[in-house]
Amino acid sequence: MASQHNFRELLQKEKLIIGANETRRALSKGELATILLAANCSDEIKKDLEHYASLSKTPVEVLESSNDELGTIVKKPFAVSVLGVKK
């Protein structure tokens, strides 16, 4: 995996935001330290989040994991394409 983030620790500390819409909201409020995208995240979501991230100077990292794998990593029974890490 490209990221060195400890997802288990972030989940326990409630510093992980799951989903594109929730991440976009937190990004607009300036609450995010970084945005993590699944390797197969849709181009539309990717471009949208990269645009807003550039405005707020928030780094965006594309992970090697697919959205199905990312969902499993964060213990969700569904695919997850976008994660936001709170400051």
- Domain layout of the chain by residue ranges: 14-86
Is pLDDT above 90 for 21? yes
The domain 14-86 having CATH identifier 3.30.1330.30: the answer here is yes
pLDDT confidence of residue 77: 95
Tens digit of pLDDT for each residue in 39-62?
Answer: 999 999 999 999 999 999 999 999
**Mean pLDDT rounded to a whole number for the chain:** 91
CB–CB of 35/58 below 8 Å? yes
Distance (Å) of CA 71 to CA 53, 65, 77: 22, 10, 7
Cα distance from N-terminal residue to C-terminal residue, the chain: 22
CA–CA distance, 81 with 62 (Å, rounded to integer): 10
* The two structure tokens encoding residue 50: 């990269």
- Whether this prediction's pTM lies above 0.95 is answered by no
Torsion of CA 59, 2, 7, 77, to 10 degrees: 100
CA–CA distance, 11 with 85 (Å, rounded to integer): 10
